[in-house]
């Protein structure tokens, strides 16, 4: 009893410590990311005024005004402090291409991307887990070999190429989906019906899912092999458990948590995949916005997206840490043992 209480107390303290550490890490991380990305942009030959003006013709006075607004002639430290100060106030500036506040652009685009990423995250996770369990159960059989080959091949497949091939097959050849999926700039999500939007979501989500399956399936397969050769499975066999029931009772239970952890750690890859897939399918998400921002020198938007992506990845890593530290009882077991 006393021992238990001690453990619980320790757990509480651990939680506080964990939260504190994480918060500190996030803040320091964001500061450095801000500094580094700002410095990188500063190094680049990008001229924000030129980018803003674009094809418009402006008077010299207007140009001077813009230059002052962008602080072209002020020293980099001042520019950074100015920008960072605004960010602290929640003002990320105005997007040069969309001509609306960066926060609005990000909100809209990121929501679209989140749906895409969440869909493929779930599909690839579930499918990959099932395939991994099957492959691990049927180790060495033809079905295992097929799954393995699929995973190896998919891991070597360029994301954008797979997207192109699917686009060619399903949009060009079969005609199931329109080719130019893009919505003209200025048309917001409100103007698109739910079905249109779903229609647009399918191919990118399928592409991302197909690619995401590889890693999780191989991981699950290896992990299941580990579990199946564990002492507790040996004991379960000694007690007469066998076949599918054994795998379901002990295998799935013990592989699931590490697999979910891995899925959370894959947020960075997922984001990268989304950037490429959105570009090919012209899906109006954050990835496409990032590419446009980069290509058309929309510095405020690009910096905003970098920060949001860092937050996104941080969230995934933190979730993985939480599962590792607090949810998985095996960790507690190891801690207790040491």
Residues from 251 through 270 that contact another protein (CB under 8 A) = 253-254, 257, 267-269
Minimum CB separation of residue 283 from another protein in Å reads 14
Minimum CB separation of residue 269 from another protein in Å reads 8
Please identify, among the stretches 77-85, 92-100, 110-118, 311-319, the one whose residues bind another protein according to the rule CB under 8 A: 311-319
Please identify, among the stretches 56-64, 73-81, 122-130, 248-256, the one whose residues bind another protein according to the rule CB under 8 A: 248-256
Residues near 170 by beta carbon (within 8 Å), at least 6 away in sequence: 176, 177, 203
Instruction: Note whether 232 binds another protein by CB under 8 A.
Output: yes
| 211, 218, 280, 289: which one binds another protein (CB under 8 A) | 280
Q: Which is nearer to another protein, 58 or 80 (CB)?
A: 80
How many residues are present in the chain?
338
State the burial class of residue 208 (Cβ atoms within 10 Å of its Cβ: 0-12, 13-18, 19+). buried
Instruction: Note whether 306 binds another protein by CB under 8 A.
Output: yes
Instruction: Note whether 213 binds another protein by CB under 8 A.
Output: no
Instruction: Note whether 95 binds another protein by CB under 8 A.
Output: no
Closest CA to 317 of 116, 16, 26, 24: 26
Please identify, among the stretches 65-73, 101-109, 196-204, 234-242, the one whose residues bind another protein according to the rule CB under 8 A: 234-242
Instruction: Note whether 238 binds another protein by CB under 8 A.
Output: yes
Closest CA to 72 of 37, 98, 46: 46
| 182, 294, 322, 326: which one binds another protein (CB under 8 A) | 294
Count of residues that interact with another protein, criterion CB under 8 A = 74
| 241, 319, 321, 325: which one binds another protein (CB under 8 A) | 241
104, 186 in Cβ contact below 8 A? no
| 167, 203, 214, 259: which one binds another protein (CB under 8 A) | 167
DSSP letters for 200-267: HHHHHHHHHHHHHHHHHHHHHHHHHHHHHTSHHHHHHHHTT--HHHHIIIIIIHHHHHHHHHHHHHTH
Instruction: Note whether 113 binds another protein by CB under 8 A.
Output: no
């Amino acid at each position: 009893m006393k021992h238990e209480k001690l453990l619980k107390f320790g757990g509480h303290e651990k939680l506080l410590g964990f939260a504190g550490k994480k918060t500190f890490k996030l803040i320091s991380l964001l500061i450095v990311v801000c500094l580094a990305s700002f410095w990188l942009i500063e190094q680049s030959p990008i001229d924000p005024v030129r980018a803003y003006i674009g094809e418009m013709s402006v008077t010299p006075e207007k140009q001077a005004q813009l230059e002052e607004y962008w602080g072209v002639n002020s020293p980099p430290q001042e520019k950074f402090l100015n920008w960072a100060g605004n960010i602290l106030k929640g003002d990320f500036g105005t997007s040069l291409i969309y001509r609306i506040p960066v926060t609005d652009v990000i909100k809209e685009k990121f929501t679209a991307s989140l749906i895409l990423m969440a869909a493929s995250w779930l599909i690839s996770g579930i499918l990959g887990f099932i395939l991994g369990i099957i492959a691990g159960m049927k180790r060495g059989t033809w079905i295992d070999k097929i799954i393995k080959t699929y995973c190896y091949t998919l891991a070597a497949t360029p994301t954008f190429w797979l997207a192109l091939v699917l686009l060619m097959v399903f949009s060009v050849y079969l005609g199931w989906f329109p080719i130019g999926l893009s919505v003209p700039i200025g048309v917001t999500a409100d103007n698109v019906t739910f079905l249109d939007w779903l229609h647009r979501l399918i191919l990118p989500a399928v592409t991302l899912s197909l690619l995401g399956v590889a890693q999780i399936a191989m991981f699950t397969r290896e992990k299941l092999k580990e579990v199946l050769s564990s002492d507790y499975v040996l004991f379960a066999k000694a007690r007469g458990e066998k076949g599918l029931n054994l795998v379901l009772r002990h295998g799935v239970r013990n592989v699931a948590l590490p697999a979910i952890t891995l899925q959370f750690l894959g947020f960075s890859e997922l984001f990268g995949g989304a950037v490429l897939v959105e570009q090919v399918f012209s899906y109006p998400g954050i990835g496409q916005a990032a590419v446009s921002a980069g290509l058309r020198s929309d510095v405020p938007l690009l910096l905003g997206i970098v920060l949001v992506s860092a937050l996104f990845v941080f969230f995934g890593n933190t979730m993985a840490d939480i599962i590792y530290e607090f949810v998985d009882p095996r960790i507690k077991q190891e801690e207790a043992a040491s």
